[in-house]
Structure 1
Amino acid sequence: MSATRATETFRAARDFLLEHREDYERAYAGFRWPRADHFNWALDWFDVIAENNDRTALHIVEEDGRRTEVSFAAMSERSDRAANWLKAQGVREGDRILVMLGNQVELWETALAAMKLRAVVIPATPLLGPADLRDRVERGRVRHVLVRDADTAKFDEVPGEYTRIAVGEEVAGWLPYAGVAEASVAFTPGRETDADEPLMLYFTSGTTASPKLVEHTHVSYPVGHLSTMYWIGLRPGDVHLNISSPGWAKHAWSNLFAPWTAEATVFIFNYTRFDAGRLMAEMDRSGITSFCAPPTVWRMLIQADLSQLKVPPREVVAAGEPLNPEVIETVRREWGVTIRDGFGQTETAVQ
């Protein structure tokens, strides 16, 4: 994919932040948000940096030790195939796709594919039940659902005329996502993407009232998370571990836009039960350079022997509710780095 004017404008803003990562005053005074009438992060950024790029974009380690590594070039190709296949199944620009997947390769390739098609993704956590899904399908005006095979039965109680796509084993009455592998890799975009077109629709957690819909455009998250990249301290070639569940906005912040804007590797460790020792062993084995976790994980980590981690990450951050000062001090004493506490909402980038 050839660089566009939007690519170069975005790159210049990113490179300015990388250059002045250690000089906040200079960064604050000199940074200007990139402006473009047309911008598609998957086409104008990801595909450009992915061309002939064999560095690892996504590295997933399963609890049983299985590893999956996908290069930037391969992820670009996979998302092209996914875009062509989804288009063949009737996905059109502006269509809303409810995506309910775990931390698996298909989650990232469909996110890029939907951007390329100018479809709108409604991310959903696999923890949702039929009642929540009915609400999301109805209020989100969902045209297509793309879910793990294990979750398809939940939709037996979700009425609506929507395309049903199952990832994994074949399910009766559902289109098998496995067909993506046979799709053409030659993807041709439609018209240019207007910067203010909708990109993602998130349902908030609904802590104090019913979940509300939050719309993000092809600018608000892809460009807005330049600030998240800067705050985390991500650099090209980093290996970034963010512990976050798919379906929540923080997953897009720190497992999609921020690391791949920095040309860093997204690292995932899938586990059913938290094991601090195993997590630190995987961090050492995979060379984690930046680490973000919610306060609950940090509190569990300090109950273990932090010296098990031989090479601590260069950058450590927390997001969610405020982190206890004693946790920050314990990590500083054991790892020699200071956890920086961030705040943000579904409606915003990091603040």
Structure 2
Amino acid sequence: MNLQKLSGAWIPIVSIIFGLLAGAIIMLIFGYNPIAGYIALIEGAFGNSYFTGQTILLTTPYILSGLAVAFAFRTGLLNIGVEGQVLVGWLASVTVGLLFDFPMIIHLPLAILAAIIAGGLWGFIPGYFKARFHVHEVIVTIMMNYIALYSTNAIVRNVLTDGSDRTEYISDSASLKASWLSNLMPNSNVHTGIFLAIVAALFFWYFIEKTKYGYELKAVGFNPHASQYAGMSVKRNIILSMTISGGFAGLAGAMEGIGNFGYMSLNNGFTNIGFDGIAIALLGGNVAFGVVLAAGLFGFLKVGALNMPLSAGVPNELVDIITALIIFFVAASYMIILLRDRLKTLYQRIKNKLKGGGRS
């Protein structure tokens, strides 16, 4: 079997199984019932329409932040600044939702577009520094996370409000909330942004796999020197990659600003949507379909964990341990490959011995 195919398809699945098994062992060690714990986890995520809605709600920005990280990674870049790009996208969408009063057919797309542009510009800056001055994107994006955090806080307090800790609610014409979806999952904050996230995943797949621009981006990521020799503009593709990656992250921010909350408040710390996107992209193999599934898994674990202390007495911190173990097994994929090879060798030896015994 091709190693790349194994890494893309089997390793995440095996990693999830190993993570769940390790979590069960930890529950047993601390005196908890793992079966009851996992049943509570499932019921907490999908037990009724409200929990299902909340799971979809959390999965939505996770899909987009995972796509942001994965897009940059597919082109040889590591975008650690997704968290900051989420914040500026959140701010941009809320600002448009507050300052304008257009019909929904204009207002809502404008708020979404503002978030994409804001996130894209925030991604453009480290891309430009990387392309023009060869400054490593990891350093720049990490620093820009803090710039985004404190800048958005200052704008909320001093520009959008008169010293308040949060803005007013956006206009209904800029909101992603839909009555028909709320009726399906009453009392939850689910919104139509999930459909935008799926469209974004389809765009990711089509752009990377089916267009010449996507081919160039991947080629630059694999070997920038060979790509430049072939006539491709390495600098332009680096900037384009980081800009598109930032656009995905900015759209994730809009899911919170004009979807989940409908306002923006001061953030005492990071939302972790962007940082979780790194793990989601890793688990999803940096492909669109894998990112969607990995984001769904994270949403399921995060929401379902809230029910574990109530129904099974299991502290929800154990879910964080399980999640960390899953990511550990993905990162240590060579261990899974080694285990596979050892099992294959053992199987072959047993098979040979059985054949030898049959002859004698």
Q: TM-score range by the shorter chain?
A: under 0.3
By relative contact order (CA 8 Å, sep 6+), the higher-ranking structure is 2
Q: Which TM-score applies when normalising by structure 2?
A: 0.27
Q: Which TM-score applies when normalising by structure 1?
A: 0.28
